[in-house]
A and B are shown apart, each in its own frame.
Chain A
């Protein structure tokens, strides 16, 4: 019974070991390798560090740990008298992270000099860009910074994911670092449509041959502001007639002036026939008759109505002003194109 219990316990322990080992082995191997390097056990260090760098391990080393592992591995090889192998390892390191520099307090000059030799001989580029960039067309731009391992020529392009359209945004030498920018327009000056783009930077040798390409995916989203609707043409009912079309106003002026004037003259005679009536009523009657005649002529059919013409012109002018204002506003809104660019993780490809 006790035997069975011990076997079961052993099985549980054994079954748990691989999980812990696979979870920590790459990092543990790195720590062990560094420990051996510091104890000057370079052979053992080399074996452990090479195993730590095995990408099949789960989880593999992180980028930073990987750079450390490569550096300690190269340093071990230097002290083992294998400078050429060390330079190959450093070349891998430079390609992995062109900005990496070995700590000169940890590694002696014989190691760093091999690294420098490898760095100078390696043409590699790293791209850094904000994860998310927002800007308005012609008011901002997308920016990415390139870091070079050594001085060399590059070709930087923005291309569609399928490569159908390409736009060179820089070609020429790069020393330590270089700022690239893209304003969201294609070579023809048109606004680039939404979609997946690639920022592609190719390192080239002195003869212009492509050595290595680093590609950063860019998810580009383009949106435009909504425009305002133009005012509709006002209905005819809003406009006043620009000339007299009926004789109604003319007749009203005639009747209202002449008849009222006549009434002022005659009705008092009927009301008070024996009274000496005031002659002042002739003034009122005359004024009524005269203004009535003026109104009759003014409103005769077919006569232009300047007040109405002016009113209509003002209405049309106000409509034109409103339309122009909206057109200007729409032009401004149409120009307001908003870009949102999401940058992905860069990948690299050796071309040789």
Chain B
């Protein structure tokens, strides 16, 4: 596991150095910030050893994102919280997540991010996780000044797990579409997001999926 993580970090660093060497100094320094808010339809699959088996909870969460971009550097925060209902049983679970990623975007179409990701899951018992994640983000222009696509994948480098739990591995992916207006600094973002955390020697996993629709605004600082 340690070897895999080290290899991943080496790959990320190499990639960052390669892309930064070409266009980094051609970037125009720009300072801006953004904020967005919107609903997310969330499905959480909770896999546990028998006899518990796999449980699914789902419902609507509220998602908020905000960030600051300073030249090629960025800081992005994301909060999501919602009460999710069991699909095959009575009761509900509460899922709350918070992320803070600092990033480096050497090129227009790629960025590297790292930071903590906190997850609090309250079912019959409460689980509090702190993940340290490394992410890579890709973006592309579909229609000039109107439509952009993006996707990002991440690896959980380490985790601070709940009691009686041993973290194994974790991955995530998010892909989506950003629609802007040409006249106003507002935008809409919609996307799909999934991540999977496996623990207790691969016997357990939490897999949240989100389909979200965020309404955002940009601010020039």
Contacts and interface: CB of A to CB of B under 8 A. Distances in A.
Contact of A253 (B41, B143, B191): B143
B48 to A, nearest CB: 14
A281 interface: yes
Chain A: interface size category: 20 to 34
Interface in B141-197: 141-144, 147-151, 153, 171-173, 175-177, 190-192, 194-196
Nearest to A296: B142
7 contacts: A252-B140, A252-B141, A257-B149, A264-B192, A271-B195, A276-B45, A299-B144
A288 B207 CA distance: 24
A257 B139 CA distance: 10
Interface of A: 249, 252-253, 255-257, 260-261, 263-264, 267-268, 271-272, 275-278, 280-281, 283-285, 287-288, 291-292, 294-295, 298-299, 307
A293 to B, nearest CB: 9
Interface of B: 41, 43, 45, 56, 109, 138-144, 147-151, 153, 171-173, 175-177, 190-192, 194-196, 205, 207, 209, 211
Contacts of B140: 252-253, 255-257, 260
Contact of A275 (B45, B143, B175): B45
Query: Which residue, of B151, B176, B195, B205, has the highest number of chain A Cβ atoms within 10 A?
Result: B151
Given A283-B211, A284-B177, 9 more contacts: A260-B138, A260-B150, A261-B175, A287-B190, A288-B149, A288-B176, A291-B142, A292-B142, A307-B144
Contact of B141 (A275, A294, A295): A295
A267 B136 CA distance: 14
Contacts of B194: 267-268, 271-272, 277
Contacts of B153: 267
A284 B147 CA distance: 13
B207 A292 contact: no
A299 B142 CA distance: 9
Nearest to B182: A307
A249 B144 contact: yes
Among B171, B172, B209: residue with most chain A CB under 10 A: B209
Nearest to B195: A271
Contact of B196 (A272, A280, A285): A272
A264 B144 contact: no
By CB atoms of chain A within 10 A, which of B138, B175, B194, B211 has the most? B175
A284 B143 contact: no
A284 B192 contact: yes
Given A272-B194, A278-B209, A284-B190, A291 B144 contact: no
Contacts of B109: 252
Given A249-B141, A260-B140, A260-B151, A275 B190 contact: no
A277 B207 CA distance: 10
Nearest to A293: B142
A264 B43 CA distance: 16
Contacts of B171: 271
A291 B147 contact: yes
A291 B176 CA distance: 12
Given A267-B153, A278-B43, A291 B177 contact: yes
Given A264-B151, A278-B43, A284 B176 contact: yes
B55 to A, nearest CB: 12
Given A249-B144, A257-B149, A284-B191, A271 B173 contact: yes
A194 to B, nearest CB: 56
Contacts of A298: 143
B87 to A, nearest CB: 10
A150 to B, nearest CB: 84
A307 B56 CA distance: 49
Given A267-B175, A272-B207, A288-B177, A257 B196 contact: no
Nearest to B172: A271
Contact of B142 (A276, A278, A284, A294): A294
A249 B195 CA distance: 31
Contacts of A284: 175-177, 190-192, 211
A298 B149 CA distance: 16
Contacts of A294: 142-143
Given A257-B149, A260-B149, A260-B150, A275 B207 contact: yes
Contacts of B142: 253, 256-257, 288, 291-292, 294-295
Contacts of B211: 278, 280-281, 283-284
Contacts of A256: 139-142, 148-149
Contact of A280 (B41, B147, B150): B41
Nearest to B205: A272
Which 4 pairs, one residue from A and one from B, show the smallest C-beta to C-beta distance?
Answer: A256-B140, A264-B175, A280-B211, A281-B192
